[in-house]
Amino acid sequence: MKRALQILLPILVMGAGAWGGAWLVLNRKVVKPVERTPFHPRVKVQKVQRGHYQPVIRSQGTVRARMAVDLSSEVKGRVVTMSSSLIDGGLFEAGDILLELDSVDYDLALRQARARMDVAQAGITNALAQMSSARAQMAQWEARISREEAEARAAIAEWKLIGRQGEPPALLAREPQLKEARAGLESAKAMWWASAAKEKSDVAELEAARAAEKIAELNVARCVIRAPFKGRVDSRMVGIGQVVSPGIALARLESVDVGVVRLALPQEDFEFLGMKNGLRGGANIVNGPKARFRSAAGGRWRGQVVRGLGEVDGGTRMVSVVAEVNDPYSELEDSTLSYGLFVSAEIDGELIEDVVVLPRIVLREGGGVHVFKKGKLHAREVEVILTTHDHVVIKGGLDEGEDVCLTPVEAFVDGMTVVLDPEGMDE
């Protein structure tokens, strides 16, 4: 019995399997093939319109003073008065008195110089009088010499006329009188030369006294320290009663006539500013690009780019330009453009003619665009000259009226069929 089961059981299993397979084949369902409709991506397009475009270059920077100096004294002295404006953050006008030093020593020096001038002037007057007196005496002695010589000639002629022999006596020849007159003339000349030397010395002393007076006057004036320009006090380093010396910083002053902002730009953006020779630096340019500034608090100001710094940063490869804002601390403005404030900037670039401006999303990998024509998309190489946060500016590669695809297409194949979104025609 056990032997029979071992033989019949496999036969039964194989028979059941054959029957089940035959049943499945006879009762199978026939699946009809489904006809698939090809998928065509739906896209939006924008028509090409050529025109002019003024780029706006964006940057940011910190507002600084155009000029900042250390206020110092030219003379030594003790601070006796101080302006109420001479405090950190204080504002002042050009010419305002900020400090006064004790001028007593310099006043005394001025009086001494003027006294020296008076003495020197009196000496000159006296010397000139002596020279005049000596000149008069010289004239008198010269006249006496002429008279004595004439009388001597007449006496000698008379001596010879009466037949006297030999030399006439010295007294007859007027020799003692001539000797006395000549000695008087030499004495008068000596007095004149001495007086002339004294006058020259007194003139030199007068000039020296005048120079001393000028120096003393300057020192007295320098005891009053005035503001060199309209500005503000960044910091003060002196107080009442302090003795200051020349060259020592008393305060740090900043001008407020013009605020400056240093702006870093990519080299490709700098080219659109139209600043010829801007990379060379140098003096301010005339009619530079207009600029607008804005702070995080909402303050707004207008300015102008005035020059480039003539260098490219070795680390960032950026070009720096300088913009100026007039009267940053003006009371007429709604908000003050305070120094140290961080601002964002928008600079108007030079107008670009005959270009196409499209949304930045039209750019595809590699820098080209997709052009829609007769239900198909085609790849197109274009000349991109400027890319902003939102737009792309194209110079060449697109014609007026062409449709440029705005929708990114996955698995793009050149010439592929697409469906135009009826609501996607952007003019």
Q: Render pLDDT for 255-296 as a digit per residue (tens, 0 to 9).
A: 999 999 999 999 888 888 888 766 666 667 778 899 999 999
The residue ranking higher by pLDDT, 8 or 180, is 180
CATH number, position 380: 2.40.420.20
Distance CA 246, CA 329 (A): 31
Query: Quick one: how far is CA 201 from the chain centroid?
Result: 52
**Residue 153 in tokens:** 């000639």
Do 265 and 242 fall into the same domain?
Answer: no
313: helix, strand or coil: coil
Query: What's the mean per-residue pLDDT of the chain?
Result: 87
The pLDDT confidence band at residue 16, using thresholds 50, 70 and 90, is: low
Shared-domain flag, residues 163 and 248: no
Residues 94 and 236 in one domain: yes
For residue 198, give its domain range.
105-222
Domain annotation covers residue 399: yes
The total number of structural domains that make up the chain: 4
**In the prediction, which pLDDT does 334 show?**
72
How high is the pLDDT of residue 279? 65
pLDDT, position 58:
92
- The 10 Å Cβ neighbour count of residue 343 is 25
Q: Edge-to-edge strands of the sheet including 419-426?
A: 376-380, 369-373, 403-405, 42-47, 419-426
Say which residue, 94 or 151, is predicted with more confidence.
94
Helix (H, G, I), strand (E, B) or coil at 9: helix
Whether residues 120 and 183 share a domain: the answer is: yes
Note the pLDDT of residue 285. 75
Which one, of 418, 417, 411, lies nearest residue 43 by Cα?
A: 418
> Does one domain contain both 135 and 278?
no
Least confident residue range of 197-201, 350-354, 408-412 = 408-412
Cβ neighbours for 127, distance < 8 A, ≥ 6 positions apart? 195, 196, 198, 199, 202
Residue 327: its pLDDT value, please?
Answer: 92
User: What is the predicted pLDDT for the residue at 366?
Assistant: 77
Q: Identify any residues that bridge with 323 across adjacent strands, giving them in sequence order.
A: 261, 305
Least confident of 8-22, 53-67, 85-99: 8-22
Q: Is the pLDDT of residue 19 over 70?
A: no
pLDDT interval class at 393 (50, 70, 90): very high
What CATH number should be reported for the domain holding residue 323?
2.40.30.170
Residue 389 has pLDDT above 70, yes or no: yes
Q: What's the helix, strand, coil split of the chain in %, to 5?
A: 35, 35, 35
**Residue 386 and residue 318 share a domain:** no
CA distance 207 to 144: 40
Residue 313 lies in a domain: yes
pLDDT (average), residues 159-174: 78
Tokens (6 digits) for 349: 């670039």
- Residue 180 included in any domain: yes
Domain boundary among 318, 333, 348: 348
134 shares a domain with 187: yes
Q: Is residue 121 domain-shared with residue 88, that is, in the same domain?
A: no
Burial of 370 (0-12, 13-18, 19+ CB in 10 A): buried
| Strand ranges (E), 104-165 | none
The CATH number that applies at residue 81 is 2.40.50.100
Q: Please report whether residue 418 resides in a domain.
A: yes
Arithmetic mean of pLDDT, 175-195 = 88
Q: Predicted confidence band at 169 (pLDDT cuts at 50, 70, 90)?
A: confident
Tell me the mean pLDDT in the region 382-400. Answer: 90
Work out the pLDDT band at 420, boundaries 50, 70, 90.
confident
Nearest Cα to 270, choosing from 317, 326, 324, 325?
A: 317
**Do 130 and 213 belong to one domain?**
yes
Same domain for 235 and 157, yes or no, is: no
**In the chain, what percentage of residues exceed pLDDT 70?**
88
The pLDDT value recorded for residue 354 is 92
Does residue 23 form part of some domain?
Answer: no
In a domain, 208, yes or no: yes
- Are both 329 and 370 inside the same structural domain? no
DSSP for 42-93, written as a single string: EEEEEE--EEEE--EEEEEEEEEES-EEEEE-SS-EEEEEE-TT-STT-EE-
Residue 138 lies in a domain: yes
pLDDT band of residue 14 (cuts 50, 70, 90) is: low
Highest mean pLDDT among 29-38, 108-117, 176-185: 108-117
Nearest partner of 109 among 202, 244, 221, 204, judged by Cα: 221
To the question of pTM greater than 0.75 for the whole model, the response is no
* pLDDT of residue 423 exceeding 80: no
Least confident of 4-8, 189-193, 243-247, 303-307: 4-8
Q: Kindly report the number of other CB atoms within 10 A of residue 228's CB atom.
A: 14
Positive or negative: CA dihedral 148, 150, 151, 153: positive
Kindly report, residue by residue over 314-361, the tens digit of the pLDDT: 888 899 999 999 999 987 777 889 999 999 999 999 999 999 999 999
- The verdict on residue 12 lying in a domain is no
Give the model's pLDDT for residue 116.
93
The whole-angstrom separation of Cα 185 and Cα 134 is 9
Contact 78, 106 (CB under 8 A): no
Specify the DSSP element, H or E, that contains 120. Answer: helix 104-161
The pLDDT score that the predictor gives to residue 39 is: 74
Same domain for 262 and 245? no
**Which residue did the predictor score with more confidence, 176 or 219?**
219
CB burial class (10 A; 0-12, 13-18, 19+) of residue 387? middle
